[in-house]
């Protein structure tokens, strides 16, 4: 493989990963928005980042399915379903553990459900993950890949930079929010600006489902 082919391959991967993350994050936000309205009859915005209607966990889940598309695209549906069920559950568990470990926050708990794993995974939802893997790998992504790759590179680059900065700023804001709840003082002048810009009221309004770890109470 010559240098031009190598760079073209890297560019293709960059475009696919950026766009699929953004699409998954947008769809996740939309699905949760509609689901909450159907279930409660009221609207509630539950974004995962400080700016934009994005839910990163869905974007990362979408990337997981993209990666495994190239591995399992030729496998039988039942194999894809089994793998998707296991990987989906493991992914959801990991996505619950990371913010708890790094920021001492939680975004969901399944303690009130009987079939849960450590309150982080609801086992019946794992089977939904398996179904999503099958639909995505066998029917959706094969038709979507070549359309996504045609996205102008400059658009993808700008979107990527925005998402990276948004995610970084969100991580800092969440970390500071957790510190304030735990009465950990801020000495850095830049972080003090973050505290002022994204205070507790702002964070509670922006992320209504987020709970600081010590505030979490099991319902079951």
pLDDT in tens, 58-74: 999 999 999 999 999 99
- 17 CB contacts (<8 Å, ≥6 apart)? 63, 66
pLDDT at 113: 87
pLDDT at 144: 93
pTM: 0.87
Domain boundaries, the chain: 3-213
Burial-class residue 135 by CB neighbours within 10 Å (0-12, 13-18, 19+). middle
CA distances in angstroms from 198 to 11, 113, 180, 191, listed in the order given: 35, 33, 11, 10
pLDDT in tens, 147-168: 999 999 999 999 999 999 999 9
Give the mean model confidence (pLDDT) for residues 207-219: 69
Q: What is the DSSP string of 143-177?
A: HHHHHHTTS-HHHHHHHHHHHHHHHHHHHHHHHHH
High-pLDDT (> 70) share of the chain, %:
96
Identify whether the C-beta of residue 184 lies closer than 8 Å to the C-beta of residue 214.
no
Task: Look at residue 78 and tell me whether its pLDDT is greater than 90.
Answer: yes
Q: What angle do CA 53, 27, 209 make, to 5 degrees?
A: 55
How would you classify the pairing of strands 105-106 and 211-212? antiparallel
Identify whether the C-beta of residue 170 lies closer than 8 Å to the C-beta of residue 57.
no
Give the mean model confidence (pLDDT) for residues 6-11: 86
Token output for 89 = 């559950």
Mean pLDDT across the chain? 91
Q: Which residue has the tokens 């296991």?
A: 86
């Amino acid at each position: 493989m010559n240098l031009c082919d190598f760079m073209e391959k890297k560019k293709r991967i960059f475009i696919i990963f950026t766009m699929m993350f953004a699409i998954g994050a947008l769809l996740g936000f939309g699905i949760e928005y509609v689901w909450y309205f159907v279930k409660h009859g009221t609207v509630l915005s539950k974004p995962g980042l400080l700016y934009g209607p994005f839910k990163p966990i869905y974007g990362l889940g979408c990337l997981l399915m993209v990666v495994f598309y190239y591995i399992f695209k030729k496998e039988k549906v039942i194999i894809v379903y089994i793998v998707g069920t296991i990987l989906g559950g493991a992914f959801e568990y990991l996505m619950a553990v990371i913010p708890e470990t790094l920021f001492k926050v939680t975004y969901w708990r399944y303690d009130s459900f009987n079939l849960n794993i450590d309150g982080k995974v609801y086992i019946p939802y794992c089977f939904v993950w398996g179904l999503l893997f099958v639909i995505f790998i066998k029917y959706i992504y094969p038709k979507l890949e070549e359309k996504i790759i045609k996205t102008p590179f400059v658009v993808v680059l700008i979107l990527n930079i925005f998402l990276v900065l948004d995610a970084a700023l969100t991580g800092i804001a969440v970390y500071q929010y957790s510190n304030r709840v735990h009465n950990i003082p801020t000495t850095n002048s830049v972080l003090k600006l973050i505290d002022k810009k994204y205070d507790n009221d702002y964070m509670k309004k922006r992320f209504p489902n987020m709970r600081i770890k010590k505030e979490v109470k099991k319902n079951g």
